[in-house]
Structure 1
């Protein structure tokens, strides 16, 4: 569906060229919700502009649905862009036009018949939950309603790909979740490929199928969301995963709980059916040791649940080795975070 092959983008600003995107290879399958996450300056916004042809790569190729966007020009590029729509962080609505007129605008530009425009706009207003607000102006809408207009406008020409550039970062957490639920519904209903650019791991966790982590223009880690959350490989990825705990502050583990404890503190990470195992009870029965639960949490991703549990136990080295082996044999990731 979307193929990026050895894509690089270098901006020539004076004597020092800026490498915004550095030798990126990505494959995004049709119907996926794909997250690209990174902090400011990581290159993710430049990457999304390469996807819709607003920027031309310095080297490499971008192919969408068999069309090479990176080399398309003129009418060919214009036709390709009709199938690649965008949702923006700050909405980019026409303030002098109503909700209905904003949604209709892209269809008018494309030359669609008036009757078709009226029918499509009515359909989209209902889809995004704006029934009754058709004649309102952007200044009369909340942030979430403005973004719903932006999404409806992006869907007007029935695109194959929806690009979302920080589409929820200007919204409060509750409204963010509502917009993410809407995007997930659109994806499932129409099998629409969605590429999300974000710096919020909560966004990735909630709706994405796969994620690429960018740093200094490079993709440093990529994979299925559940795998990346449970087994992050790079320091920046682990930092993003910790960010999800901070999204709900009460879920964060307090390391001070271990300060005065003798023995070992073990962190368990488990996914899928493993989340329903009576792990603590089984360990207690098998080893005859008291296991103290320090902290636990469960998180939902688009493809299943994963959980983390911090246990304290006083055990000798042999017992501890056997405990860790039993957990790993049962498909549970574990690590000793303190051993006195």
Structure 2
């Protein structure tokens, strides 16, 4: 659906050339929700502008649904952009127009008949949950409602790809979750391909199928969300994964530095899929006759499945500890010895 091959983008500044996107290769399949995560300056926004033709790559190719966006010009580019819509961080609504008029705007530009516009606007208002707000102006809406208008407007011309540039970063956590649920619902109902730019791993965890991690213009890690969460390879990815433990203010993040390390070996267990339902700790306690002290645990849901993390302390060293680790490995449980 979306294929980037050796894509680079260099800007020429007064201080010299700046490479915002550096030799990026990417594949996004039809119907996927694909997350691209990175901190400010990583090159995410430039990358998304390359996807809709607002920027041209310095080198490489950008192909969407078989069309080379990087080479398209004039009418060909305009027609391609009709199938690639954008949702913005700060909504970008027309403040002098009502909800219905904002949604209708892109249809009017595309030259759709008035009757068709009226029908389509009503369909979209129902889809994004804004019934009763048709005649309200943006100033009368909450942040979440404004973003729903932005999403409805982006869907007006039946796009094949929806680009979301930090679409939830201006919203509070509860509203963010509601908007993410809406995007997930739209993806399921319309089979729409969604590319989501963010700096929040919670957003990726909640709705994305795959994720690419960007740093200094390059993709440093990529894969299924569940795999990246359970086995992050790069320091920046581990930093993002740590965000999810701190996302909820109701949860106090676990600090392994506070453990009494004189009481035995400390193990961090990562369970995936069905293993999250197995009484592994109980079985080990019975087998070895050694109590396992549970220090901390949590379960996390992704679109690819569930994984759990469990921190244990056990009075075992040497060969006894090696046997325990072998048993855990036999159950396909990833184990890290934090302290022995």
Kindly report the root-mean-square deviation, in angstroms, between the aligned alpha carbons of the 2 structures.
Answer: 0.8
Tell me what 2:311 maps to.
310
Moved over 3 A (4+): none
How far off its partner does 1:302 sit?
Answer: 1.1
Matched, 1:206 2:215: no
Question: Residue in 1 aligned with 2:36?
Answer: 36
TM-superposition CA deviations, 1:282-327 (whole Å, max 9, x none): 1101111110000000011112111000000011210111111111
2:295: which partner in 1? 294
CA distance in 2, matches of 1:327, 1:166: 40
Report SS of the residue matched to 2:214. Answer: strand
Matched ranges for 1:10-159 at <5 A: 10-159=10-159
- 8 Å contact 2:224–2:304 — kept in the other structure? no
Cα displacement string for residues 232-273 of structure 1 (whole angstroms, at most 9, x for unaligned residues): 000000000000000024152122441453310000001110
1:115, 1:170 → 2: CA distance?
Answer: 35
Gaps of at least 5 residues in structure 2 are none
* Residue 14 of structure 1, CA deviation: 2.0
Q: How many residues align?
A: 339
TM-score normalised by the chain length of structure 2: 0.98
> Gaps (5+ residues) in structure 1?
none
Normalised by the length of structure 1, the TM-score is 0.98
Aligned equivalents of 1:329, 1:56: Cα separation in 2: 51
The answer on whether the counterparts of 2:269 and 2:309 sit within 8 Å (CA) in structure 1 is yes
| Structure 2 Cα separation of the partners of residues 316 and 138 of structure 1 | 64
Corresponding residue SS for 1:4: strand
Q: Does 1:267 align with 2:268?
A: yes
Alpha-carbon offset, residue 328 of structure 1? 1.2
- Is residue 209–residue 225 contact of structure 2 (8 Å, CA) maintained in 1? yes
